[in-house]
Each structure stands twice: as structure tokens, then as C-alpha cells.
Chain A
Amino acid sequence: MKIPSIKFKKAGKSKKQIDKVFDQSKWIRGFTIVTVAIWVFYAFIVDLLPYVIASFFQKWLPASTVNESLVWVICALGLNIVVGYAGLLDLGFVAFWAIGGYCAGWFMSDFFYQVNIHFGSMAPAEQPGIHLSFWAVLFIGALVCAAFGVIIGAPTLRLKSDYLALVTLGFGEIIPQVFYNGENIGGFNLSNGSKGISPVDNIGLFGKKLGPFDLDWKYLIFVCLAALMVFISLRIRSGRLGRAWLAIREDELAASMMGVPLMRSKLAAYAVGAFSGGIGGVAFATHVNGVFADRFSFSISIILLAMVVLGGMGNVWGVIVGALSIAWVNTTGLPAFGETVNSALGTNINFPSYNFLLFGGILIFMMLYKREGLLPESRLKQIMHEADDSTSNIGGH
């Protein structure tokens, strides 16, 4: 019984360069260097720079954009586990983001003013509501989301891939709508409805309160969370569960014949993906200092999907690159570019409204011409182009 597992391990080690370069823990050094460099730059150097350069950064890459992009990275890494590793198309990932966000809203604010629970929080003790420490809420949010991932995943396991997409989409619509209409569910105020819950508590770090403008420290926290997700992704990917996911992605029937437990593996993919969605949700709530129901729209799910697809499904580094670039374009790049063009040419074009075209275009062109993404994972590249080699094509392209 041991022979196949040994074989698998050997196959896992003789992978192509990308996997080799970032094999296991080697990535941590480079990651830390980049992280610290960016942190030093934003915390100390930017203020010393001459005004022109400082304002350039203020316009094109403000620190808040960096932080928000990191939240997107965390969520995209989670979606990557579901879509990229296990090959289950999830069009409702925003549900986990929302649940994570509301966990922060419930456990880190005055929202439940009827009670007065404090645990490791920086909020003054006489303040009503549930005030837990940010780290505890992070954990709770991630676990609640993982539980929801299993709840959402369980009924969909028997479905074919396209039906699965629809069911996840359905959940992705229902859950934000429950929050949006949640002002009065049988007399109970679940979510404060469209007003949202704001503000949430500050993050406490070594006895220091991180207010909304302590972006440098929050940056460090978000980077650590992203690194945690990278670590989890890479470790699971090279373990038994990761191999099971890849097998399911490539051929479900063959995988089940080889003894891969389909149910358990798929549920685990949903749970781990949702786990990171929860972390991202809590982090985002502290980033924008509140949760607002109307933010959780279908387009978030699609933007996350575009990030995963653009970067390269299944490759953690590709997904990070995809997430950072799309998040930057969405939050800063497009408006700043529009501003520059409009002021230079004297036109009045609303550039942010082009994001529909941009994301739609990215999805279509990537699927048509570079299905494996910008930084492809070698195995996925083969699968995605398997059909191109086959002689029996209906269309005859």
C-alpha cells in the first residue's frame, strides 16, 4: 500500500521550474525582503521624498490601495484553491467575504449594544457591544466561513460543473441579500440593513491602537495574513489533499476510481477557500472601518475570478500577480489614468465605467488565447490545451 504514495512523492518533486524555484519554504526569504522594503518605503521614505515624487505615489499608488490589494490577494488565494486547485467553479465567493465582514461587524463593534462583552479588545470597557480582539475575530470569521463553505458545498457535490457554478452563484446572491434585508428578521436586527455596521474596533497590536490611518502597521498585518494563505496553499498543494484536488480537477471519474474520496476532498476545498474568504472579509472590514451590505455584489465574485484566471489558475504566484494588478487597476489605476488623460486632453471621459469592458475583455481573451493565465502552472497548461491537439473537433477552428 505504500508504493503508490512514494511514487506520488517522486512525481511531485520532479515538477517544472516554477514549482522548483518557489519550492516549499524558499519563497519566504524573497517574500519577506519585498514586504519589508515596501513597508520601509511607505513608513519612512515617502515622507522624506520631495513633494513631486511623494504626490506621484499619492496619486498612483497610495498606501491604502496597497492594503486593499492585499485583501483582494487573500480572497483570490482562497478562490484559487476552489477554482484553480479543485476545478470547482465558484461564482459566489462574495458570500464568504460578506460573512467574514459581518463577523467583524458583530464581534468588533457596538452593534449588539444589549450586551457588554470584552475580550482582549482596545475598546474602553464601558462601551456596550461585543468587543473581541482582532485576532480572535479573525479566527472566528475564518471558522464561520469554513463552516458555511461546507454548508454551501455539501448540496452541490453531486452536481455537474456548470450546475455547481449556478448554485454557488445562488448562494452568493442570497447571503448578501439576507444581510441587506436583515434589519428586521422576525423582529431581530441581524445586520443593520442597508445602513451597515460602522465603525468597527481598531486593531490592537502590542498594546498599540491601529486607527483608520495607521496604514503602515495594517499593511504588515495584511501581508502576514496573505503570507499565511500562501503558506497554506503551497503546503496543502504538495500534500495528499492537494494531489487529490488536482486529480479531481483533471478527471473526477478517474480520481474516484483511484480511491480519492471525492466528497471529502471537495468539501475540504470549499472549506479552505472559504476560510481565506473569511480572513479577507474581517481584514477588509477593518480596512474600510465598517461593513456595508451594498458592497457585496456579484461583480466582486467576478473580479476575483478574473484575478485567478488572469494570473494563472492553480499557481499561487500567478494569482498574487493577477490580484495585485487587477485590484490596483480597479481602485487606483483606472481613475488616476482617466484623470491624467482627461486633464491632458481636456476631455471628460468617465474611465472607471470602463471596468466592465476591462474585466469582461480579460475573461474572454484569456480564455480564448491564453487559457492557462500569465504565469501558468505547468500541469494546468497541458489540460487546458489537451483538446486543441485532438483531431475530432466539431467546429474545425
Chain B
Amino acid sequence: MESAPVSHSIDRDLLDKKKGVEEMAKTSSRFSTRLLIERSAASIIIGLVFFWLAVNIVKSPSQFFQASVIGIGNGVLYALIALGYTLVYGIIELINFAHGDLFMLGGVFAATFISVWFGQDTPSSTGYGVFFLCLIAVMGFCATINVAIERFAYRKLRKAPKLAPLITAVGVSFIIQFIGIRWNGSGPKTWDSVLPAGEFVISGVHIPYTTIISFVVTIPLLILMTFIVTKTRRGKAMRATAQDADAARLMGIDVNKTIAFTFALGGALAGAAGLLFQQTRGVTNYNLGYQLGLIAFTSAVLGGIGNLSGAVLGAILIGLIQGLNDGLPIGLGQQWSQTVVFTILILLMVFRPTGLLGKPMVEKV
């Protein structure tokens, strides 16, 4: 009598186990079909992109390389902005919507500094001097503003539900745009550059001097920033805070100061980008920050958000894609430029939210 229920329960256990295994097999097969679909869709998209590039190279190689040069020139600017997004996201997991607008404000400041306060609008040795003076000034200016934003808008919300700081960031972005309208007017303004306007030609490809100058300014800044983040004490504190803010605080790191420093770093880079954009394109507008900010954010996501070299890689790639789309004979053309970038953003989010160089995300409970 006694053995019967026991054996019954064992049978049941076995049955349950069997069922469980079957279910697991089912779910895993479902996952693998999903993976298969994703993989194949991704490879089809990448294949189409390469096909498009190949057709264009064959059709007109000089135009292809010309578009690439323009694209990479833009990409360098995006890299400076994207780093600010990635730094801030890495440390407090906030998408700082206001970052692009900070870049815009940097551009307006640079224009005012060079053209209004110092009255420089032609390439000359004084002009170059003012340019470098302005580089330092605009970096300090944007760093200060970014630290102030962090202090007054974001610090209080660090432990609040995620929605709160995000909405605040959107609000800050609107306020900076308002400052932009007050300062720069509600339409675009054009400025004369102190940088030389010429270009040199390598086998049919025109390379403007301004692109070279963008590189000359950007690369040392990137090296400096990498040095700060990887080699200095402050950088170590930053990385520790990014990993675990509470643990970092227990280890004696001043978390507030470290986060403020991160914002300062990001702001300084955005300021430099603003100056470079204003001088190379010669235009400022209050809504530029919003557009370029989104492109830069896409770059940061493409590279893997939180990853510094990823942001630079992503920015160059996005710049390249945009340049090619705008400049190639067979392309969608400039009017679809933004759409292309946002489509990349959405595809990335769907297929690979971790980006190219990002680590896979683990959901924290």
C-alpha cells in the first residue's frame, strides 16, 4: 500500500522532468530560430550595404573617395561629441540629451569669441593665435556649464526612477536651446573662418585644409583624454565609480567630485567640437545641437555605449556612412541623411544593442 504512492510520485517526477526537458528544448529551438532570423537579416543588410558600396566604387572611384574624406571629417567631430555621451552614460547611466545642445552653445561661444570679441575673420597668424586661445576658452566654458547642469539638474535625481533624469535632460536641452535662440537668433548665422580655406588634391580627391585641422586638434585631445581616463588617479576613480558607485564611495572616492569631473571632461570635448564645427562649416544655429547630438549618440551606441574607443570608431563609421549617402552618385541623397542615421540606430537597437565593441549587458536586479 505504501509503495504505490511513492512510485506514483516518482513517476510524476520523471514525467515532470521529461516535460521540463522537452520544454527547454522547445524554448531553445525557438530562441535559435529567432537568432537565425536575426543573423540572416543582419547579414542581408550588411550584404546590401557592401553591394551598394561596390557599385559606387566601380561607377565613380574619385567621387567615392571624395565622399569618404568628407564623411571622415564629419566623423571626427561626431567622435568628440559622442565621447561626452559615452562618458556620462558609462558613469551614471544617463542619456544626457542636453549634450548635443552644449556642443551648439560651444559653437555660438566660439563664434562670439573669435569674430565679435577679437574681431578675427580672416586667416592670419593672429587668427590662429585667437583660434587656440578660443579652444581653451570654449573647453573651459562648456565644461563649466556641463558641471553646473550636473550639479543643479541631475545630482538630485541620481537615485530617482530612470524616467525622471531622462525627462530632466530633455528639459535642460530645451533651456540650452532657448539660450541659443537668445544668443544667436532664431535662424542660422554664418561666420567667416580664421582657418585657411584652401584644399589640396591627391589624384582627383580634394582634401580641404579644415579637415586636416580637425584631425590636428582632435587627435591630441583624444590622446589626452585616454591618458586621463586610463593613467591618472582621477581616471581610476572614474572607472571605479562607473563600476560601482557605492563601493567606490566606501573606498574613499569622492563620488560627486568624480561624476562632476566626468561631466567636465565631456563638456570640454563638446566645446572643442563646437569650435571646430563653427570654424570649419562657418554656421551656427540653435537647433544644430539637437540634430548632431542625436547623430553623435547613435555613434556612441554603434561603438558600444560606455566604451571610449567604441565611441570614436562608431563616430567615424557614422560619419562615413552619412558622407557616402550624401555624396555618392547612387545614394538616397542628403534629404534622407537623418533618416539613414536613425534607421541605423533602430536596427542596432534591435539586432545588437551592445554595439560593436560593447560588452553584453546583464540585467541588474
Cβ–Cβ < 8 Å partners of A356 in chain B: 174-175, 177-178, 181
Bound Cα distance from A166 to B174, whole angstroms: 17
Q: Does A53 contact B (CB under 8 A)?
A: no
Q: In the complex, are the beta carbons of B175 and A395 less than 8 A apart?
A: no
Can you name the residue of chain B whose Cβ is closest to the Cβ of A161? Answer: B162
Please give the distance in Å from A243's CB to the nearest CB on chain B. 19
Cβ–Cβ < 8 Å partners of A173 in chain B: 294, 338-339, 342
Cβ–Cβ < 8 Å partners of B255 in chain A: 394-395
Cβ–Cβ < 8 Å partners of B346 in chain A: 155, 167, 170-171, 174
Please give the distance in Å from A360's CB to the nearest CB on chain B. 3
Bound Cα distance from A388 to B338, whole angstroms: 40
Binds B, one of A9-17, A138-146, A217-225, A363-371: A363-371
Can you name the residue of chain A whose Cβ is closest to the Cβ of B365? Answer: A253
Q: Does B60 contact A (CB under 8 A)?
A: no
Which interface residue of A165, A170, A177, A392 has the most chain B CB atoms within 10 A? A170
Decide: A395 near B156, CB < 8 A? Known: A155-B349, A359-B174, A367-B167: yes
Q: In the complex, are the beta carbons of A309 and B297 less than 8 A apart?
A: no
Bound Cα distance from A259 to B166, whole angstroms: 29
Cβ–Cβ < 8 Å partners of B297 in chain A: 166
Q: Does B195 contact A (CB under 8 A)?
A: no
Q: Does A52 contact B (CB under 8 A)?
A: no
Bound Cα distance from A302 to B287, whole angstroms: 15
B-contact bits for A304-343, CB 8 A (1 contact / 0 none) = 0100010000000000000000000000000000000000
Please give the distance in Å from A166's CB to the nearest CB on chain B. 7
Bound Cα distance from A338 to B276, whole angstroms: 38
Decide: A368 near B177, CB < 8 A? Known: A174-B342, A394-B246: no
Q: In the complex, are the beta carbons of B158 and A395 less than 8 A apart?
A: yes
Bound Cα distance from A305 to B342, whole angstroms: 21
Q: Does B159 contact A (CB under 8 A)?
A: yes
Q: Does B93 contact A (CB under 8 A)?
A: yes
Q: In the complex, are the beta carbons of B174 and A170 less than 8 A apart?
A: no
Which interface residue of B155, B175, B338 has the most chain A CB atoms within 10 A? B175
Which interface residue of B159, B245, B336 has the most chain A CB atoms within 10 A? B159
Q: In the complex, are the beta carbons of B174 and A360 less than 8 A apart?
A: yes
Q: Does A215 contact B (CB under 8 A)?
A: no
Q: Does A283 contact B (CB under 8 A)?
A: no
Q: In the complex, are the beta carbons of A166 and B301 less than 8 A apart?
A: yes
Decide: A162 near B166, CB < 8 A? Known: A169-B294, A360-B172, A360-B174: yes
Q: In the complex, are the beta carbons of B174 and A368 less than 8 A apart?
A: no
How would you classify the secondary structure of chain A's contact residues: helix, strand, loop or mixed? Answer: helix
Q: In the complex, are the beta carbons of A395 and B256 less than 8 A apart?
A: yes
Q: In the complex, are the beta carbons of A360 and B249 less than 8 A apart?
A: no
Bound Cα distance from A174 to B186, whole angstroms: 24
Q: Does B120 contact A (CB under 8 A)?
A: no
Can you name the residue of chain A whose Cβ is closest to the Cβ of B343? Answer: A174
Can you name the residue of chain A whose Cβ is closest to the Cβ of B162? Answer: A161
Within 8 A of A (CB), among B164-192: 164-168, 170-175, 177-178, 181, 186
Cβ–Cβ < 8 Å partners of A160 in chain B: 361
Find A159's partner among B153, B161, B294, B349 (CB 8 Å cutoff): B349
Bound Cα distance from A363 to B165, whole angstroms: 10
Q: Does B64 contact A (CB under 8 A)?
A: no
Q: Does A2 contact B (CB under 8 A)?
A: no
Q: Does B160 contact A (CB under 8 A)?
A: yes
Bound Cα distance from A173 to B345, whole angstroms: 12
Bound Cα distance from A289 to B172, whole angstroms: 35
Cβ–Cβ < 8 Å partners of B158 in chain A: 393-395
Can you name the residue of chain B whose Cβ is closest to the Cβ of A180? Answer: B335
Please give the distance in Å from B314's CB to the nearest CB on chain A. 14
Q: Does B163 contact A (CB under 8 A)?
A: yes
Can you name the residue of chain A whose Cβ is closest to the Cβ of B149? Answer: A364
Bound Cα distance from A353 to B171, whole angstroms: 16
Find A162's partner among B93, B155, B156, B363 (CB 8 Å cutoff): B93
Bound Cα distance from A378 to B119, whole angstroms: 58
Cβ–Cβ < 8 Å partners of A353 in chain B: 178, 181, 186
Can you name the residue of chain A whose Cβ is closest to the Cβ of B177? Answer: A356
Chain B interface residues toward A at CB < 8 A: 93-95, 153, 155-168, 170-175, 177-178, 181, 186, 245-246, 249, 255-256, 290, 294, 297, 301, 335-336, 338-339, 342-343, 345-346, 349-350, 353, 361, 363, 365
> Which 4 A-B residue pairings sit nearest by Cβ, starting from the closest?
A363-B171, A360-B174, A356-B178, A360-B175
Chain A interface residues toward B at CB < 8 A: 83, 87, 89, 91, 155-156, 158-163, 165-167, 169-171, 173-174, 177-178, 181, 253, 298, 302, 305, 309, 353-354, 356-357, 359-364, 367-368, 371, 383-384, 386-388, 390, 392-397
Besides A162-B93, A177-B338, A354-B178, 8 other CB < 8 A contacts? Answer: A161-B163, A165-B166, A167-B349, A174-B343, A178-B339, A181-B339, A305-B167, A367-B171
22 contacts between A and B (CB under 8 A): A87-B163, A89-B166, A158-B353, A162-B162, A165-B95, A169-B294, A170-B343, A177-B336, A357-B178, A359-B171, A360-B175, A361-B171, A361-B175, A363-B167, A367-B157, A371-B160, A386-B161, A387-B159, A388-B159, A395-B155, A395-B255, A396-B256
